[in-house]
Amino acid sequence: MTTPTIYTSSFVFFFLSLFFSSCFGEVDPPGCKYNAPVAIFAGVDSFSNHSFSVNKQDAVEKISVPKYKMDIELYQSGCDFLQQEFRFLLYEAYPAQTPPDICANQIAGIFFLLARDAPLQLGMLSQWATAIKADAASFKYNEKIKLAGSGITAQIDKIHQPESAVLTIVFSE
């Protein structure tokens, strides 16, 4: 599937902007290409239990989203390369035999919801959602794919528990 250049450019810009915005954060360690990550979920009224901790080039951000019966954990890292791992902890049953493309579309749907609920802070997540949906058929569990027309790779996975599930997506530069 061909991705328009405008879409690709803004998707890559968004991915990198989450990290470049950290240029206003802590001073990076000597020899690192990128500065420390910054919180992206801070100040969203519909989220609760927000926490953010950073240790040099690694950060963990956690929130609860009661409206959607889920918690989200975001792991960010990068010194000479960038990586973000979103973990969506769903507090409902999730079919064990869910194919990867359905899981990818579910993750895209979550990004669309977050962007809709907090357009000022998270509106750009809709571009991630669009990219995931466009390449949904290409996803395999625990295998990186290059998102069409970008230098960004993505990898999805899911973990089942009796009454819940964890869906993950890892973006890498």
**Considering the chain, what is the average pLDDT of its residues?**
85
Which residues of the chain form beta strands (DSSP E)?
48-55, 58-65, 70-78, 82-90, 145-146, 153-161, 164-172
The answer for residues whose C-beta is within 8 angstroms of residue 120's C-beta and 6 or more apart is none
Q: Check pLDDT > 50 for residue 76.
A: yes
Residue 144 near residue 154 (C-beta atoms within 8 A):
yes
**Residue 26 has what pLDDT?**
46
Q: How far is CA 170 from CA 46, 119, 133, 135, 156, in A?
A: 24, 22, 15, 14, 7
Q: Does residue 60 sit in helix, strand or coil?
A: strand
Give the pLDDT mean for 64-69: 95
Q: Does residue 51 sit in helix, strand or coil?
A: strand
pLDDT in tens, 89-111: 999 988 889 999 999 999 999 99
pLDDT in tens, 1-59: 333 333 444 444 444 444 434 333 444 566 788 888 889 999 898 899 999 999 888 99
* pTM of the full structure: 0.84
